[in-house]
Chain A
Amino acid sequence: MTLLIAILVFGLIAALFGALLGYASIRFKVDADPIVEQIDAILPQTQCGQCGYPGCKPYAQAVADGEAINKCAPGGEDTIKKIADLMGVEAEPLDESHEKDNRPKVAFIIEEDCIGCTKCIQACPVDAILGAAKQMHTIIADECTGCDLCVAPCPVDCIEMRVVPETTQNWLWDLNSIPVQQID
């Protein structure tokens, strides 16, 4: 009899708490950003495809599905660290297949070489190339994300990636980089 009572009591308690938890999970549901959106927000949005996916969003989707987090070359270590924090995994060094130099760059069309083939225009993920068939093209430098996707398609190799020059506006106060000049 005591046994029965005990089982009954515990069963009731379990049912009660179960119901409570179930209700709470519905009632207090947190509408968090889907993980894909959060990852996408971290990615640098260069849409460069160096990760092997056709843009930042697809890569974010892939990371959410278990893809390696170290494939974003333009984002570099910072982005990897942030994704690692978000996903609760260990940060890994950048995929070795990418070049280490991730200084910001913009594409530049050597205009006298351009034949107006429009191939780069088709390749540009952010529509930052201006031009028409048989007309010389040019890059809208402010819109260029430096993804270098336009470099490969160019049949005459007239596009090159140029490092964004250091100006007084984007100087990062690195006093050690100032060349000391000998004076008489």
Chain B
Amino acid sequence: MAFWIASSPHNHNQQSTSSLMRLVIFAAIPGIIAQWYFFGWGNLIHIGIAMITAMLCEFIVLSLREKRITEQLFDGSALLTAMLIGICLPAFAPWWITVIGTIFAIAIAKHLYGGLGHNPFNPAMTGYVMLLISFPLQMTTWQPPISLMEIELSFSNTLTTIFTGFTIDGYSVEQLRTSIDGVTMATPLDTLKTSITMGLTVSETTQSSVFGEHFAVGWEWVNLAFLLGGIFLISKKAIAWQTPVSFLLSLFLCSLIGYTIVPDSSASTMFHWFSGATMLGAFFILTDPVTGATSAKGRLIVGLLAGLLVYLIRVFGGYPDGVAFAVLLCNMSAPLIDQYTRPRTYGHSKDLS
């Protein structure tokens, strides 16, 4: 027998990075279920493709980098990235979109910068933005909510659409996206943007069926489910509360200001909260610790900035939703924000003589 020499502290709360990642993945499940319920199998299939691609890609890159594969492969970070990409993609996007996006996220956005903990940009959002810029057509093949679809969409139909572009019965993506009243459907945010540029008022626009009774058919529930998951994460202390709270607050304030100034061409505050990727961004993407700010004050600032950016991009930008861009811009400014929001160390008060 020999004594074991180690450094203090000798005990540990037995938390680990992988358990943290797993918790985040689990917290996203309600949102995914809501997505499935309202939009069918599309995103689930994309999540599956993305996860398989991510694991393969992670394995290859880790072995190329001669890292400890067993530990890092299963730390959950790659799976989380893949899951986020799968959630974000349009349901009818072809399979290779997912594959390319995931490879880009894992190999380039994450590992080229030094792997987990060293990447300056959120890998999922980097992959998503790359796809959005490179493949604008495929990335806007949004699926309308099932309730509004003319054609019955089964799992196998979705699968063949993703892999071949056509359902088993030979419907194309375009046909699938056509609603009962013969109009090609887009996301509520997209619809809003196009109609406002066409000179319609918000109240006129919201007559469209995609907006449903409240804010947006399906989207509102998906966002609510992600909010639920986010609150669970905060209660588990897996994520810091500052970022999502300040982000939502900031978005609320911006939209409120817009709404009070020009109510005709501005959507309501709640529409901004419960459409697009607002809740997903607030609780699952902006809270990524690696790319966010580390100090409490810094997180508040990052949240505020992100809310402002999302609003600006949604209202004035060329893209209907701005969460991905806002996240990347915030990632960029996080180190600077950290630099200027360092907490005062104990015993370094200026009042102390």
Contacts and interface: CB of A to CB of B under 8 A. Distances in A.
Interface of A: 173, 175, 178, 180-184
Contacts of B4: 180
Contacts of A175: 5-7
Given A178-B5, A180-B3, 11 more contacts: A173-B7, A175-B6, A175-B7, A180-B2, A180-B5, A181-B2, A181-B3, A182-B1, A182-B2, A183-B1, A183-B2
A181 B4 CA distance: 10
Interface centre among B1, B5, B7 (most CB of A within 10 A): B5
A171 to B, nearest CB: 13
Contacts of A182: 1-2
Please tell me the size bucket of the interface on B. Answer: under 10
A51 B199 CA distance: 81
- Chain B interface main SS type: loop
Contacts of B2: 180-183
A178 B2 CA distance: 12
Contacts of A184: 1
17 contacts: A173-B7, A175-B5, A175-B6, A175-B7, A178-B5, A180-B2, A180-B3, A180-B4, A180-B5, A181-B2, A181-B3, A182-B1, A182-B2, A183-B1, A183-B2, A183-B3, A184-B1
Contacts of A180: 2-5
A184 B2 CA distance: 8
A182 B4 CA distance: 10
A42 to B, nearest CB: 28
A173 B5 CA distance: 12
Nearest to A183: B1
A178 B5 CA distance: 8
A139 B138 CA distance: 81
Nearest to B6: A175
B288 to A, nearest CB: 33
A181 B6 CA distance: 14
Interface in B1-16: 1-7
A132 B235 CA distance: 78
B104 to A, nearest CB: 35
A180 B5 CA distance: 8
B9 to A, nearest CB: 14
A173 B1 CA distance: 24
Per CB-CB distance, the 4 closest pairs between chain A and chain B, nearest first, are A180-B2, A182-B2, A178-B5, A183-B1
Contacts of B1: 182-184
A181 B1 CA distance: 9
B291 to A, nearest CB: 30
Contacts of A173: 7
A180 B1 CA distance: 10
A78 to B, nearest CB: 25
Contacts of A181: 2-3
B38 to A, nearest CB: 56
